[in-house]
Amino acid sequence: MQNKLIRLKVIGISYSQTQSGAYALILAEENGERRLPIIIGGFEAQAIVIKLENLEPPRPLTHDLFKSFAESCGVTVEQVIINKLREGIFYSEIICTDGERRFQIDSRTSDAVALALRFECPIYIEPHILNEAGIIMTTSTVEEKTGKDTEVPVKKKESQATEYSEYGLDELKEMLSDAIGREDYEQAASIRDEIARRK
């Protein structure tokens, strides 16, 4: 079964312009051009963004707590598989091991991806699901396709680089620290992007 699965990578998170308070998780096949946009909630988007941006929250989030708990029990996550698509909703399973046995846990795709990033394990998808829901990313095709975790693909929001262009580098670093302290990881990610552009 493993050789039939297609490996995915996380491209990033974009804002939904069609659903208030929603975000699009963009996955891509590792050796191909197809993308899999999935609408996720704000909390899950935050959990994914802080790992993608290498931000350090002042206290552990739920997915960090899960990782610590699992490791304390000698359990690690080997891989994540997006294995079903029913009525527009994606389903995933998390493959775990305790060193002696392997077992799987059903999961929302957004939670599975957040954990895959923390355990640094691969993400796979069943080929027929990518064939059905995968797209070549363009503004028009993203708006036409749908799919949920509570999930639908959406148009990618334009860069907000100019929002912070008036600030100096020292001010941006102070703002970044403040945003992390307030646990506003969406703003922190935007500021981190602006700092990266200055380098």
Q: What is the pLDDT of residue 173?
A: 82
- Please state the φ and ψ torsions of residue 102, each to the nearest 5 degrees: -110, 140
Q: Distance of CA 191 to CAs 44, 144, 160, Å?
A: 20, 31, 9
Calculate mean pLDDT across residues 68-87.
94
CATH among 3.10.690.10, 3.90.550.10, 3.40.50.620, 3.10.20.30 for 2-158: 3.10.690.10
Q: What is the pLDDT of residue 79?
A: 97
Please name the amino acid found at residue 171.
E
Confidence of residue 140 (pLDDT cuts 50, 70, 90): very low
Q: What is the pLDDT of residue 123?
A: 98
Query: What is the DSSP pairing of strand 23-29 with strand 34-40?
Result: antiparallel
Q: What is the pLDDT of residue 7?
A: 97
Here the tokens at position 195 are 């700092």
Q: Which residue has the higher pLDDT, 166 or 150?
A: 166
The answer to whether the CB of 36 falls within 8 A of the CB of 138 is: no
Q: Does 53 score more than 70 pLDDT?
A: yes
Q: pTM of whole model > 0.85? A: no
Calculate mean pLDDT across residues 20-41.
86
Q: Parse the chain into domains and list their residue ranges.
A: 2-158, 159-199
